[in-house]
Amino acid sequence: MGNGIAHVMALAGYEVLLTDISQDALDRGIETITGNMDRQVSRGKVSAEDRDAAMARISTTLTLADLGATDLVIEAATEKEALKAAIFEDLVPHLAPHTILTSNTSSISITRLASRTDRPEKFMGFHFMNPVPVMQLVELIRGIATDKETFQACHEVVEKLGKTAASAEDFPAFIVNRILMPMINEAVYTLYEGVGNVTSIDTSMKLGTNHPMGPLELADFIGLDTCLAIMNVLHDGLADTKYRPCPLLTKYVEAGWLGRKSGRGFYDYRSGEPVPTR
């Protein structure tokens, strides 16, 4: 999601510094941004001049400390709390006093992440939806210590991006995933219990409830490991059995069938045409 966030920030006029753990990852990110902006130009959504200006605003670095001079940091690492906390701990010594820290986490406690930094009052959740250039919503999540000025600054950024902000309280999975992930998990239970197969479940939800994607197709798009991680956050954080991850979801993740990114999940994508695996 980092490349999508960089994409929309640069188009909105912000200077963007993109970092990752390898040059290959950065090169892939720039390649993705370039391809997505070219697609927007071909569809008349962005002018070629605006694309070129936006791309010129994006630079990259492998050195995390280089982010220290920025005004706003948006962390978009994998949905693993220990990893996110480690990134913030490495970054904090290099930050300017005014720098706002945010996380694109889709489920992890903002208050807990903020407590691992030197500025909990300048820390909040900045949760974009995927794919970032297309989706209009951004969840803004305040931790217990987040001050009004930080929230207002982030809200103004969302407005400049031309997106809509939804304010969420700092409870497990916030708003979108608190509702979406149990639905996906229930769809996996429906498959697990043999109520329907992959095709019938996704077709029923697309045609019966007018969803653009079926829940199993959507799970593959999100990543089954991410879905499982969010369900575990809900289950652990709320201690309610209704959030227990479906054993079939766990099995797919253990098999490395993570969805589109691994080539196989509830659908097999290796032939180029999605084929249901059940």
Q: Does residue 222 have a pLDDT over 90?
A: yes
pTM score, whole prediction: 0.89
Tell me how far apart the alpha carbons of residues 66 and 88 are, in angstroms, rounded to a whole number.
13
Q: Is 186 a catalytic residue?
A: no
Sequence-ordered strand ranges (E) for the chain? 16-19, 58-61, 72-75, 100-103, 123-128, 137-142, 164-168, 267-268, 275-276
- Is residue 112 within 8 Å of residue 125, measured between CB atoms? no
Tokens of 233: 């956050």
Please state, for a pLDDT cut of 70, what percent of the chain lies above it. 100
Tell me how far apart the alpha carbons of residues 37 and 55 are, in angstroms, rounded to a whole number.
9
Please state, for a pLDDT cut of 90, what percent of the chain lies above it. 97
Q: What is the pLDDT of residue 30?
A: 97
Tell me how far apart the alpha carbons of residues 146 and 153 are, in angstroms, rounded to a whole number.
12
Do 87 and 182 belong together in one domain? no
Among residues 3, 79, 127, 262, the one annotated as catalytic is 127
Tell me how far apart the alpha carbons of residues 28 and 253 are, in angstroms, rounded to a whole number.
25
Do 40 and 143 belong together in one domain? yes
Domain of residue 188, residue span: 178-276
Picking from 169, 194, 210, the residue at the C-terminal end of a domain is 169
Tell me how far apart the alpha carbons of residues 45 and 22 are, in angstroms, rounded to a whole number.
32
Q: Would you call 97 helix, strand, or coil by DSSP?
A: coil
Tell me how far apart the alpha carbons of residues 43 and 25 are, in angstroms, rounded to a whole number.
27
Picking from 169, 193, 213, the residue at the C-terminal end of a domain is 169
Identity at 243, one-letter amino acid code: Y
Q: Does residue 79 have a pLDDT over 90?
A: no
Do 87 and 162 belong together in one domain? yes
Helix axes 176-192, 215-222, angle to 10 degrees: 120
Q: What is the pLDDT of residue 5?
A: 98
Q: What is the pLDDT of residue 194?
A: 97
Q: What is the pLDDT of residue 267?
A: 98
Among residues 36, 177, 185, 262, the one annotated as catalytic is 177
Tokens of 252: 């797919």
Do 199 and 131 belong together in one domain? no
Among residues 106, 107, 109, 262, the one annotated as catalytic is 106
Do 44 and 68 belong together in one domain? yes
pLDDT tens track for 10-45 = 999 999 999 999 999 999 999 999 999 999 999 999
Q: What is the pLDDT of residue 252?
A: 98
Can you tell me the mean pLDDT for 91-110?
95
Q: What is the pLDDT of residue 39?
A: 95
Q: What is the pLDDT of residue 217?
A: 97
Q: Is 127 a catalytic residue?
A: yes
Among residues 36, 104, 109, 139, the one annotated as catalytic is 139
Identity at 17, one-letter amino acid code: L
Do 208 and 72 belong together in one domain? no
- Is residue 133 within 8 Å of residue 150, measured between CB atoms? no
- Is residue 62 within 8 Å of residue 22, measured between CB atoms? yes
Tokens of 116: 């691992």
Do 154 and 255 belong together in one domain? no
Total domains in the chain come to: 2
pLDDT tens track for 144-160 = 999 999 999 999 999 99
Rg of the chain (C-alpha set): 19
Do 17 and 123 belong together in one domain? yes
- For the chain, the average pLDDT equals 96
Q: Does residue 52 have a pLDDT over 90?
A: yes
For residue 245, the 8-state DSSP code is P
Q: Tell me whether strands 137-142 and 123-128 are parallel, antiparallel or unpaired.
A: antiparallel
Do 90 and 220 belong together in one domain? no
Do 237 and 159 belong together in one domain? no
Picking from 133, 150, 169, the residue at the C-terminal end of a domain is 169
Burial 211-238 (b: 16+ CB within 10 A, else e): eeebbbbbbbebbbbbbbbbbbbbbeee
Find the CATH number of the domain harbouring 263.
1.10.1040.10
Q: Is 47 a catalytic residue?
A: no
Do 165 and 183 belong together in one domain? no
Find the CATH number of the domain harbouring 2.
3.40.50.720
Do 160 and 201 belong together in one domain? no
pLDDT tens track for 227-240 = 999 999 999 999 99
Q: Would you call 250 helix, strand, or coil by DSSP?
A: helix
Tokens of 142: 């305040």
Q: Is 177 a catalytic residue?
A: yes
pLDDT tens track for 119-148 = 999 999 999 998 999 999 999 999 999 999
